[in-house]
Chains A and B, each alone.
Chain A
Amino acid sequence: MTPLRSKLVPVLLAVALVGVSAAGLRLSQPEGKPYEAIHGVIGEPVKTNNGEVTVTRIRVGNAIRQYGEVRDRTAGMFVAVSVTGAATGPKPLELHKVRLASGEVSYEGFELGAGFTAQPGFQTSVESVFEVDPAQIDDLTLELRSNEIISGYQERVRIRLGVTPATAAQWRAASEGVLEPAPDTTRAIP
């Protein structure tokens, strides 16, 4: 082995080992805060630590009516998702961080307070409204989680709304109309 090669080979080996270490370390560290995803589908209750969550209905439109008059219009599309949360356990069910996701695109609630709280023994129903880009609604998924200042490994409920690439065009076509979100209701769990 030439003197140059005898010096170069160990350095290259060391660099390779550092490279492998860096790749391994990067793969072992999750991007962002890790969480437990609990998946569900529309119409079926999803169990969480403090209760159950069900998405019962989805409506679309390009305007929102409130108290008898049109309050907002959009060049895109409004999606209203009816959610019922039942606090079946001894603690309240609090899911205040709600968003819609389609692949990498994320839509926050159109109004503040898109989430809900259900007290033990009760179920609360809300209709959360989101303004979305009609071109990016494939695999639209509702994500709900609690909004905590101190948080650890959290639960995130993810419910697919059934908007597939095949049906996306139908949803877009159906969005020509006015939406009137239903008021929040709370009643005892039957």
Chain B
Amino acid sequence: MLWTDLRILIVDTGRVWWRLLPTIMGVYLLGWLGSELTLRVAVIAGDISPWLALALFAFNFVCVLAAAIVILSLAGRELGIKQLLPADEREVDDRDTSLSRLLAITLLPFLGMYAAFGQVEEAAQRLVTQQWVRYGFLSDQRTVLGALYDLSTQHLLWLIALLVGIYVLRRVLDFVAERTGLRILDLVVVLIESFFMLLLIVGGIRVFQTFQAWLENRVVMQWLAEVKNTLARFFAIFKVDLPEILTLVATFLSEQVWPVVLDVIAQPMLWLAVAALVFGSRVLSLAELWRKGRPYAARVPGATAFARYREKREFRRLGPPPKGIRLAAVRVQEAFFGDINDKYLPALHSLRLVFRAGPIFLGSYIFIYNLVIIAKNYLDALLNRIVGGHEGPFWVRWEPVLDLIQDALVEPVRLCLLAVAFRRCLELFAMRANALPDRAGTAKPRRAAPPELVDAEARS
């Protein structure tokens, strides 16, 4: 079983990557080009206003994430993930017919992933570095970092008002887009969402730092220090050095346990959960049903955790439609929680789903995912050795090209692995519902075998 999972993850990833190589490489390069161009334009726009630079810079993420989402979608199609659904259900999901809709639905969790693992901060740092290079360190020109620092430390209420305003604007545009079906509005929503996240993360870091500095000067911190000292004195009676023990435990947790949890386990698992969102709520509902050992025919629209908010509402509504204040309350609830339900919760449900794929699969997937990251690290070291040591200005100029070499080689492989891993998850859930044969060789009744890989398996 372990060998089967490892073999499937390695062989199918390689196979999908190789089959789609020209297409995914083209998509990846387009995304890279878009993001680099946006960065350059944002740096120049900083001459006019740091806010304009930040707004344009938000487009940088849209380019990178759009490329990633398209590659995942292409890999999913190559793997026949949608073929697992009955024919009449395949085209119902609107994320299949519109890239802007797919982006609008999935961008938020993807941006969340980028933010959680420091990539948003890293990208913002690149913008700041480029501005430093352009203006110099002692220039009076206001940079993005300076503008955000002022806003979050001296005009916090303005920052909050700005965030609320952007959120409301986004929800209004979301509503109009849904009513009118104008796809260009989806794209505008995506851009606003990206700007919102950037502002929230970069501004939020400053607010947090200001709060920390404020907290350290409060009396309550002195009280806590006193409690700690009293406890230390009490334990000293029993010859126990409590501060030393606490320091050792904290060091062990922060330096040994936390990096393993965050980088080795959480990162691959969260990426898999978020990647699964690209394949649509129907596929996730199918996986959920199979996980419970039930066939897709048992599906009731709106009954699974992955159903769209509107479907869930229709499924739960009993009796006559609400009127008056109740109707207004429902509308307000929909305006705020509809967004959370459609964009945030599926990522959580998806994570819960992939965690139930079984320890062998999860171990194998985490192992292969980390192999890809390890390969990237060594590739980075190799490129550094080839290019050799240089001064800062050299790296400011050439780092994007060197990053492209390693990312273009590794990132598409990682994305293909995510699609293959989710496909394997579905297979494992399907086996529980007796809907697919076990690829390890144990015969089980076949019902909805996806043509591509099962045929390839049969040939080998």
Residues A20 and B395 in contact, CB atoms below 8 Å apart: no
Q: Which of A30-49 contact B (CB under 8 A)?
A: 30, 34-36, 38, 49
- Chain A, residues 121-153, CB within 8 Å of chain B (1/0): the string is 000000000000000000000000010111111
Query: A49 — nearest CB in chain B belongs to which residue?
Result: B390
Residues B384 and A153 in contact, CB atoms below 8 Å apart: yes
At the interface, yes or no: B443 with Cβ under 8 Å from chain A?
Answer: no
Q: A30-B381, A153-B384 are in contact. Are A13 and B360 (CB under 8 A)?
A: yes
At the interface, yes or no: B244 with Cβ under 8 Å from chain A?
Answer: no
Q: A17-B363, A150-B133 are in contact. Are A28 and B377 (CB under 8 A)?
A: yes
Residues B371 and A24 in contact, CB atoms below 8 Å apart: yes
At the interface, yes or no: A155 with Cβ under 8 Å from chain B?
Answer: yes
At the interface, yes or no: B324 with Cβ under 8 Å from chain A?
Answer: no
Q: How far is the CB of B259 from chain A (nearest CB, A)?
A: 8
Residues A154 and B367 in contact, CB atoms below 8 Å apart: no
Most chain B Cβ neighbours within 10 Å, of A38, A146, A149, A153? A153
CB-CB under 8 A from B371, the residues of chain A are 21, 24
Contact of A18 among B1, B363, B394, B399 (CB under 8 A): B363
For the complex, give the distance between the alpha carbons of A25 and B120 in Å. Answer: 22
At the interface, yes or no: A2 with Cβ under 8 Å from chain B?
Answer: no
At the interface, yes or no: A189 with Cβ under 8 Å from chain B?
Answer: no
At the interface, yes or no: B132 with Cβ under 8 Å from chain A?
Answer: yes
At the interface, yes or no: B387 with Cβ under 8 Å from chain A?
Answer: yes
- Chain B, residues 360-371, CB within 8 Å of chain A (1/0): the string is 101110110111
At the interface, yes or no: B265 with Cβ under 8 Å from chain A?
Answer: yes
CB-CB under 8 A from A21, the residues of chain B are 264, 366-367, 369-371
Residues B362 and A25 in contact, CB atoms below 8 Å apart: no
Residues B360 and A10 in contact, CB atoms below 8 Å apart: yes
For the complex, give the distance between the alpha carbons of A170 and B233 in Å. Answer: 49
Query: B369 — nearest CB in chain A belongs to which residue?
Result: A21
Residues A25 and B374 in contact, CB atoms below 8 Å apart: yes
Residues B395 and A151 in contact, CB atoms below 8 Å apart: yes
Query: B265 — nearest CB in chain A belongs to which residue?
Result: A18
CB-CB under 8 A from B319, the residues of chain A are none
CB-CB under 8 A from A26, the residues of chain B are 259
Q: A14-B363, A25-B373 are in contact. Are A148 and B391 (CB under 8 A)?
A: yes
Residues B367 and A155 in contact, CB atoms below 8 Å apart: no
Query: A150 — nearest CB in chain B belongs to which residue?
Result: B392
Residues A152 and B394 in contact, CB atoms below 8 Å apart: yes
Q: How many interface residues does chain B have, given as a range?
A: 35 or more
CB-CB under 8 A from B359, the residues of chain A are 10-11, 13-14
For the complex, give the distance between the alpha carbons of A156 and B387 in Å. Answer: 15
For the complex, give the distance between the alpha carbons of A153 and B363 in Å. Answer: 34
Residues A149 and B389 in contact, CB atoms below 8 Å apart: no
Query: B362 — nearest CB in chain A belongs to which residue?
Result: A14
At the interface, yes or no: B137 with Cβ under 8 Å from chain A?
Answer: yes
At the interface, yes or no: A185 with Cβ under 8 Å from chain B?
Answer: no
- Chain A, residues 51-66, CB within 8 Å of chain B (1/0): the string is 0000000000000000
Residues B366 and A18 in contact, CB atoms below 8 Å apart: yes
- Chain B, residues 381-420, CB within 8 Å of chain A (1/0): the string is 1001101111111111001000000000000000000000
Q: How far is the CB of B383 from chain A (nearest CB, A)?
A: 9
Q: How far is the CB of B282 from chain A (nearest CB, A)?
A: 30
CB-CB under 8 A from A169, the residues of chain B are none
Q: How far is the CB of A76 from chain B (nearest CB, A)?
A: 30
Query: B132 — nearest CB in chain A belongs to which residue?
Result: A150
Q: How far is the CB of A6 from chain B (nearest CB, A)?
A: 11
Residues A49 and B377 in contact, CB atoms below 8 Å apart: no
At the interface, yes or no: A22 with Cβ under 8 Å from chain B?
Answer: yes
For the complex, give the distance between the alpha carbons of A11 and B1 in Å. Answer: 13
At the interface, yes or no: A112 with Cβ under 8 Å from chain B?
Answer: no
CB-CB under 8 A from A25, the residues of chain B are 263-264, 370, 373-374, 377
At the interface, yes or no: B129 with Cβ under 8 Å from chain A?
Answer: yes
Residues B390 and A155 in contact, CB atoms below 8 Å apart: yes
Most chain B Cβ neighbours within 10 Å, of A13, A14, A26, A156? A14
CB-CB under 8 A from B265, the residues of chain A are 18
Q: A21-B370, A36-B384 are in contact. Are A146 and B391 (CB under 8 A)?
A: yes
**A to B CB contacts below 8 Å, 10 in the list:** A10-B359, A10-B363, A21-B371, A28-B373, A36-B385, A49-B389, A150-B392, A150-B393, A151-B391, A153-B395
Top 8 nearest A-B pairs by Cβ distance?
A: A152-B395, A14-B363, A155-B389, A36-B389, A17-B363, A28-B377, A21-B370, A14-B359
